[in-house]
Chain A
Amino acid sequence: MIELKSLTKVYPGGVKALDALDLEIRDGEFFALLGPSGCGKTTLLRTIAGLETATSGQVVIGSKDVTHVQPGARDVAMVFQDYALFPHMDVTDNISYPLRIKKVAKPARTAKAAEVGARLGLEGLMDRRPGQLSGGQQQRVALARVMATQAQAFLFDEPLSNLDARLRLEARTFLKKLQRELGVTTVFVTHDQAEALAMADRMAVMEAGHIRQIGTPAEVFQRPANTFVAGFIGSTPMNLLDGTVRGETLEVAGCKVPAPAAGLRDGEKIVYGVRPEYVTYSVEPVDGSIAGKVVLSESLGASHLVTLEAAGETVQVIVPEGDEPALGDEGYAVPRTDRALIYRDGELV
């Protein structure tokens, strides 16, 4: 278990990278730290590893407070974004390097390297130098090296960002399977929301040194806790429309839609949020829909992302292939009320 208690990191020069973070990562969990660049996610990972020292707060790994413990004594292993394989050592020496530091005899550590290497399909490559390996193979060597440490927790910094797009999908599945098999608590950093949704058991969405939401991918996708997460998660950002409460209904973009939540005050200004995936397109007027004009249609392959302009707001709708309207058509966006969300002052109601 990794526990962070009001962790704060201020860089010399006054930049506050982490601001009183509280986070609990459970045993065996595959945990994602997600956020735009500069949000502090890498700093957080490096603080867990001990490569950055916390300005205040605590880092607890297992049940030991390691806030002021050297990285090597924290019982964690890290895969760096560039893998950091030693270019002057062959694959065997790279994988067994952590054991060399622990003064394991050479035959024993070579055997261990061979065993871990075989598990990751590196059998024929043990004598090669990192420069003679492909990106995917280098990544597996880096993974084998952290596996050889038998550490309590693994930390991955952007583990997929150095792979090309096709390999990335493959590696995603591979990583998730491997983590499940090993059952080792693993924290990884990514800026790609699709990667986090696909791989993580739970995730934390970060912005400017703060955690904006912690939850399972399903929770974070379906019920973003605030407008930042709503806009950041999802391959197409959520529709966020200004609205006013009118009794049981909401006035959004000049139309009336049913209110998805109770407890709203009449006349209150809110933000109405609904994912394009949860909006259907209709050519006929429907009750509780938003009328607009088609201004843009982007192909997503099997479907189209259609942008409607409605009373100065834009509403995006996912339309199955074949049903896409022509530009300039008048149409209706019909939100699914059970998937629509209300934000008051940026927070979910």
Chain B
Amino acid sequence: MTRFVLGRIGFYTFVAVVLAFFSVPLLWLLTAPFTDTPTYRVKIPDFTVANFAAMWEHPYALGSLGNSLILAIGTAVIVVALAALAAYALSRVRMPGRDALLYTLLLLSSIITGTAAMVPLFQLAVTVGLIDSQFGLILIMTGGLLPAAIFMLKDFMDSTPKSYEESARVFGASPLQIVRHVVVPLVRPGLATIAVWAVANVWGNFLMPYLLLSDVEKQPAAVIMYTLYTEGGQANLRLLSTFGLLYSIPVVLMYLFVSKKYGFRFHGGIKA
């Protein structure tokens, strides 16, 4: 009995320590923006909004959040549209070497938009004139995300019965009508998952925009955050914490919205 109680106490102490380890940075993120002179410690905030006012005056901070939105939404839209069409085709059309193709794409995609392909990607962007262009960056990040997106969506498509589509086909629906009327509504939770995943990926990506966008007006929040220093070269904690909070809010909101609307269910595998 005593052993059991001690065991429980030990276990919960361990859980509390782990929890504290992860929650202290979050607490800092919540309190530091409202503190006059934030340090690296978690303090009771002074509830000042002066830091937000300062950020308002920063020439690039707010614009960079807008840039992040453009990049993330642009990439997500293209990824979802292309991945849906490709996954549908790959799921429904039998062709030799399909699985090998998918696995190869998946393998290679971790190299694109990764550190390993940094130099060739930069040279490629320069050669085709997509350097310092948000559209070019969207295309490159789309390329990096597409294989995994196709792979995940194909699983969704595989798990929807074919008879829905065949039924629509016998009624005379064209392939595009079938996709619009039947397939897309059926795999909507899958599309939502892919969209959220793509937005979160682009939102947090630092390397690619840092590499390919030199105009500070076009740079997203992830890159701007890297430049928040005082004149003395010290990290500007007032701006950093405030900006960090603003930077994380959209992603959190998106997760809450999508999870409420569609629910993050795991599809496939077990038949309901």
Q: Do A and B come together as binding partners?
A: yes
A contact set with B: CB distance below 8 Å: 49-51, 70-73, 76-78, 80-82, 84, 86-88, 97-98, 100-102, 149
Residues of B within 8 A of A49 (CB): 170
* Inter-subunit contact A80/B163 (CB<8 Å): yes
Task: Pick 21 A–B contacts, CB within 8 A, sort by A.
Answer: A50-B170, A51-B169, A51-B170, A71-B169, A71-B172, A72-B171, A78-B166, A78-B167, A80-B163, A80-B166, A84-B167, A86-B168, A86-B181, A86-B182, A87-B186, A88-B186, A97-B181, A98-B171, A101-B171, A102-B172, A149-B171
Determine whether the beta carbon of B163 is less than 8 Å from that of A84. yes
- Per-residue A-contact encoding for B56-96, CB less than 8 Å = 1, 0 else: 00000000000000000000000000000000000000000
Could you say which residues of chain B place their CB within 8 Å of the CB of A71? Answer: 166, 169-170, 172
B170 touches A77 (CB 8 A): yes
Answer whether residue B53 sits at the interface, using C-beta atoms and an 8 A cutoff: no
B269 at the interface (CB under 8 A from A): no
B7 located at the interface, meaning its Cβ lies under 8 Å from any Cβ of chain A in the complex? no
Residues of B with C-beta under 8 A to A97: 168, 171, 181
- A residues less than 8 Å from B163 (CB atoms): 80-82, 84
Query: Does B164 lie at the interface of the complex (its beta carbon under 8 Å from any beta carbon of A)?
Result: yes
In the docked arrangement, what's the CA distance between A87 and B161, Å?
Answer: 11
Complex CA distance for A128 and B168, rounded to whole angstroms? 20
- Among the listed A72, A88, A100, which residue makes an inter-chain contact with B170, where contact means beta carbons less than 8 Å apart? A72
Taking the nearest CB of chain A, how far is it from the CB of B196, in angstroms?
A: 20
Contacts of A50 in B (CB 8 A): 170
B227 contacts partner chain A, Cβ-Cβ < 8 Å:
no
CB 8 Å contact bits of B127-164 with A (1 = contact, 0 = none): 00000000000000000000000000000000001011
Nearest CB in chain A: distance from B36 CB, A: 54
The answer to whether A76 and B168 have CB atoms under 8 Å apart is no
Report yes or no: A78 in contact with B170, Cβ–Cβ below 8 A.
yes
Chain B residues with CB under 8 Å of A98's CB are 171-172
Q: Which residue of B lies closest to A99 (CB)?
A: B171
| A73 and B172 within 8 A (CB) | yes
Q: In whole angstroms, how far apart are the Cα atoms of A49 and B168 in the complex?
A: 12
Contact between chains at A80 and B167 (CB < 8 Å): yes
* Contact of A51 with B166 in the complex, beta carbons under 8 Å: yes
Cβ–Cβ < 8 Å partners of A149 in chain B: 171
**Beyond A72-B172, A149-B171, 19 extra complex contacts between A and B, CB < 8 Å:** A49-B170, A51-B166, A51-B170, A70-B172, A71-B169, A72-B174, A73-B172, A77-B170, A78-B170, A81-B163, A84-B166, A86-B164, A86-B182, A88-B188, A97-B171, A97-B181, A98-B171, A98-B172, A100-B181
Q: Does B230 contact A (CB under 8 A)?
A: no
Q: Which of B164, B171, B174, B182 lies in contact with A77, CB distance below 8 A? A: B171
Which parts of B166-193 form the interface with A (CB within 8 Å)?
166-174, 177, 181-182, 185-186, 188
Residues of B within 8 A of A51 (CB): 166, 169-170
Q: Is there an interface contact between A72 and B167, defined as CB atoms closer than 8 Å?
A: no
* Chain A proximity of B185: nearest CB distance (Å): 4
Cα separation A149 to B173 with both chains bound (whole Å) = 13
Q: Which chain A residue shows the least CB distance to B185?
A: A88
Give chain B residues whose Cβ lies under 8 Å from the Cβ of A73.
Answer: 172
A84 touches B171 (CB 8 A): no
CB neighbours (8 Å) of B166 from chain A are: 51, 71, 78, 80, 84
